[in-house]
Amino acid sequence: MSSELIATVFVAISLRSIISMSSYSGFNKPPMFGDYEAQRHWQEVTFNLEVKLWYTNSTRNDLQYWGLDYPPLTAYHSYLLGHVAEKLNKSFVELYKSRGLESKEHKSYMRFTVLAADAFIFIPAILALSIFMDRTFKKNLRQQMQLLFAIYPGQILIDNGHFQYNNISLGLASVAVAALLCDQNYFAAFTFTLALNYKQMELYHALPFFAYLLSKSLSEKSVNSAVKELTKVATIVLFTFVILWYPWLNSTHSTAEVFHRLFPLGRGVFEDKVANVWCSINIVYKLRKYISNHKMALICFGTTLLAALPINVHLFFRRSKYTFILTLFNTAAAFFLFSFQVHEKSILLVALPSFCLIYWWPTEMLWFLKVSVFSMIPLLKKDNLLVPTVALMIIFRFTFKNWVFKTDDITISKRYFKMSIEQVSEILMIATLLAFLLIEPPSRFPDTWPLIISIISCGHILIFLIWGYTKQLT
């Protein structure tokens, strides 16, 4: 092992463990608290109730209070963590009584579970991904890619700050991409199914996987072997699903119940200010006032498909690993911009393929990664994480200056042009952030700054989607 690799891995762990000491979502905010309490509550519910009742509203499981709304793999993970928690301190997972529990000891435990997921899933996954990226595309950029993953502020701030386990779903998805790159298609299908069953948001990545694997299977020489190949992949996916969903499969009612928890139409097209198209349109045209939730969901579904299908069809007919990664980026961006019930954190799903695109477009993708963190600033402000956000961004910005990646394929003047656009955008983002911090918004519109941040980010992401489209289709 090279010393650089060891240093990178430990830089990743240090930053994550240092951010762990900061505040988290919903800290000291009764009665609902935040994502930290949600995760703790899931441990409580899964530890105390029978498997079948996890997703069912009952007197012992009030779904209005952070009811489980992630797929079964998350529930099993919570179950496991709940058992460990109980061993450490019974009060961590006591039914009802543990609600809103906040203690230093408990925080250390919860933070430690995220760090464990980083150390055992996320970091090995990105190491694998970077190694297979290098092998597949015959380049030598894995050290830069590893460092980029190690210090990218977005994932650190959401997982180790705000409090979530995106590192698990993103890690599983990275393994799936890596497996696909080295032609282990069955393994890719399996790990991607796991990712999807950890967080339904992984649907953002599903279409390209589907298109690629389908195209790959159908490209077999004879019809017979194509059908065989297709059956194998389908069996693996279905089998994984059945095993994971087994406790809820005995009646359609209970399956539908889980399904309904995972895709809650009732919660509206978006909750907080988010950098997507609907939230931006909402400023001039109040969507929630004029369009019913169901109708809105259909509109979202339609536009998302419209934005995502052409590139996936393109991937199907012109299959290559490079196109796959580009499609992954474009599809995720399309989903983020147009789909229903988008969260700020979902930008991380777009960030994942952008790490891979660093191999071809370092300047653009570094820019995109900065935008992605910028788009989450209102959320991070709410969690009292603005100081670490700015500090991490400074570390990120100054570690990855343009000289880190030596691109020789573009002419100097073109590069200069790109860099100056990027600088304008960077100044705009910094100015907005400063205004957000220093200028009190008019009392009639308290959300002015979050809204402006959302619109600026949305504009950027839209441009990146168009950019990705042109790169893919030309």
Partner 1 sequence: MSGYFLDLVAISSALKVLLFPAYYSTDFEVHRNWLAITHSLPINRWYLDATSEWTLDYPPFFAYFEWLLSQVAKYVDPKMLIVQNLNYASEATVYFQRSSIIVMDLIYMLGVHSILAALGVVQSTQKHIAGSMLLLLNVGLIFVDHIHFQYNGFLFGILFLSISAMIKKRYLWSAFAFAVLLNFKHIFLYVAPAFAVYLLKFYCLGEGKFVQNTIKLLAAGLTPFVLSFGPFWQQLPQLMSRLFPFKRGLTHAYWAPNIWALYNAADKVAVSVLGRSRDPDVPSTTSGLVQEVQHIVLPTITPSITFALTVLSMLPILLKLFLTPTREQAKLVFMRAIVLCACSSFMFGWHVHEKAILMCLLPMCLLAVIDHRDAKFAYILAITGYFSLFPLLFDVDLLVPRYSLYMAYVAMMYGQLERVYKTKPSIHILEWIYFYGFIAIPIYEHIISRLLGLHLSLPFMPLLLTSVYCALGVTYFYVRYYLYAMDFQWPPSFGKRRRVTQIKSSVSKRKRKVQ
Give 222's DSSP letter.
S
- The residue (of 88 and 305) whose beta carbon lies closer to partner 1 is 88
* By the rule CB under 8 A, 387 interacts with partner 1: yes
DSSP-assigned states of every residue in 261-284: HHS-GGG-SBSS--SSHHHHHHHH
User: Measured between alpha carbons, how far is residue 349 from residues 174, 205, 447 in Å?
Assistant: 11, 8, 26
Please identify, among the stretches 131-139, 291-299, 368-376, 393-401, the one whose residues bind partner 1 according to the rule CB under 8 A.
393-401
* By the rule CB under 8 A, 317 interacts with partner 1: no
Please identify, among the stretches 28-36, 85-93, 370-378, 386-394, the one whose residues bind partner 1 according to the rule CB under 8 A.
386-394
* By the rule CB under 8 A, 363 interacts with partner 1: no
Please identify which residue in 221, 401, 406, 444 interacts with partner 1, judged by CB under 8 A: 401
Residues in 9-28 that interact with partner 1 by CB under 8 A:
10-11, 13-15, 17-23
- Lay out the site mask for partner 1 across 237-256 (x = CB under 8 A, - = otherwise): --------------------
CB 371 within 8 A of CB 153: no
CB 132 within 8 A of CB 178: yes
Tell the smallest beta-carbon distance from residue 8 to partner 1 (Å): 8
Please identify, among the stretches 39-47, 102-110, 243-251, 344-352, the one whose residues bind partner 1 according to the rule CB under 8 A.
102-110
Angle (CA) 362-158-305 rounded to 5° is: 65
Residues in 104-133 that interact with partner 1 by CB under 8 A:
104-105, 108, 111-112, 115
Locate 321 and state its tokens.
């690993």
Diameter of the chain measured on Cα atoms:
69
- The residue (of 231 and 423) whose beta carbon lies closer to partner 1 is 423
Tell the smallest beta-carbon distance from residue 153 to partner 1 (Å): 11
Residue ranges of alpha helices (H) inside 118-245 are 123-137, 142-151, 153-156, 166-181, 185-198, 206-218, 223-245
The three-state secondary structure class of 342 is strand
Instruction: Name the residue among 325, 350, 315 with its Cα closest to residue 204.
Output: 350
Tell the smallest beta-carbon distance from residue 464 to partner 1 (Å): 26
Please identify which residue in 208, 388, 450, 468 interacts with partner 1, judged by CB under 8 A: 388
Cα within 13 Å of Cα(384), Cβ side:
11
Tell the smallest beta-carbon distance from residue 3 to partner 1 (Å): 4
Q: 34: burial class by Cβ within 10 Å (0-12, 13-18, 19+)?
A: middle
Residues that bind partner 1 (CB under 8 A): 2-4, 6-7, 10-11, 13-15, 17-23, 104-105, 108, 111-112, 115, 387-388, 390-392, 394-395, 398-399, 401
